[in-house]
Amino acid sequence: MLHSVRDHWTGIEPSVGTVNIVHMPEAASREAALRAGEIDIGELSPQVINQVVDDIGGRVQEIGIARPQGFQMAGNYWSTDCSDCEGGVMPRPGWEDGLADGFPWIGDPGDPTSMENARKVRWAMAMAVNRESIIENVLDGLGRVIYAWQNILPDDPSHKSEWVIPYDVAMAKQYMAEAGVADGFDMEIWVPSTFSPGTIAAAEATAEMWRSDLGIDVTIDRTEYGARRPQTVDKTINVPFTHGINWIPGATSARYICAAAGHIVGFTMEQNVCDVGLSNATERDLNQRIANNIEVQDYLSHQMLFLPMFQHSANLFAVASRVTAWDPYNSQDVLPNRPESLAVSDSE
């Protein structure tokens, strides 16, 4: 239970005296409590929140920073220079095994034909995803079209037309044929069961698009994130997996896509691009850091190393109609906050 503090040094006088916080880990319990009027604010999934707020006459409050959700095209460990790795070189068993197993989305930097064929496969998979349909029919409109791993939306001034991925099944099939896999192939993808229902549903829809339009026989591994994450550390992960980071402008985002001893997201860019992206760690000028990330995104889009599905909403909270005011601040991975800004219609 939270109690308001009167005469606080901030000068803010809360209009609500107490806030009761109830532990409800099950989404169905939160939904039922909102419908029954037992709670006034509760986090819900994109699949149900619109209907719930309509039924209770409430509204949706988004908290945090939205993030791109898509597939890291794992196994493409191309750069290995690593100052914190033993001997200065990052091991990449996932890349070696992926090439040996003939995974079509994994390229060999030492073989230009391999690199181009793998790039076309990744692009084919990207062009076969109907993002508008996923947002409208799977996410009930609670998502945005996005093409950039750097979390840059199409209406951002820094967004480039070259990053746009057309929905073009015919071209996707042509690319598959040019890459030598016209009839498709078998592929495992990892969609952690602990991820949000929206991400899981979108990934399932994407897998069905690949299956029906490109002949890719997709098997979904639903191992929870924590159980398989060690493979991103030892670099054995070499199958596409859902992931996304809510980057803010100018972040040193390259640290997760360049060689490192610890966790990265399943691939590494070529070293010259890593040098640009990693320079953000010491670059003091925000505009230069943003420019560096745009250069990194140029590379990621050309190579299609991150295959986007949609921009996932931040945390969505259903707010009951009697809550007349609530003004939380937003930041990365932020939790509900600023209870002093709450006001309710029947508060004393």
| pLDDT tens per residue, range 153-172 | 999 999 999 999 999 999 99
Domain check: are 57 and 178 in the same one? Answer: no
Same domain assignment for residues 285 and 339: no
Low-confidence ranges of the chain (pLDDT < 50): 347-348
**Tens of pLDDT along 261-297?**
999 999 999 999 999 999 999 999 999 999 999 999 9
Residue 337, CB half-sphere, CA atoms under 13 Å: how many? 12
Pick from 120, 97, 77: nearest CA to 256: 77
Q: Are 270 and 330 found together in one domain? A: no
Distance CA 219, CA 182 (A): 19
* Residues contacting 8, CB < 8 A, separation 6+: 340
Residues 37 and 172 in one domain: no
Q: Which domain CATH number covers 276?
A: 3.10.105.10
Cβ proximity of 310 and 46 under 8 Å: no
Same domain, 60 and 84: no
Residues 60 and 135 in one domain: no
Query: Which domain, by its residues, includes 154?
Result: 67-312
User: CB under 8 Å to 127, separation ≥6 — which residues?
Assistant: 165, 166, 167, 168, 169, 171, 172, 175
331 and 282 in a common domain = no
Predicted pLDDT of residue 348: 41
Domain count, the chain: 2
Same domain, 287 and 340: no
Asked if residue 87 and residue 51 are part of one domain, the reply reads: no
Task: State the CATH number of the domain containing residue 22.
Answer: 3.40.190.10
Residues 32, 123 within the same domain: no
Q: What is the pLDDT of residues 90-119, one digit of tens each?
A: 999 999 999 999 999 999 999 999 999 999
Residue 347 is predicted with a pLDDT of 47
289 and 331 in a single domain? The answer is: no
171 and 189 part of one domain: yes
Please tell me the predicted confidence (pLDDT) of residue 141: 87
pTM comes to 0.84
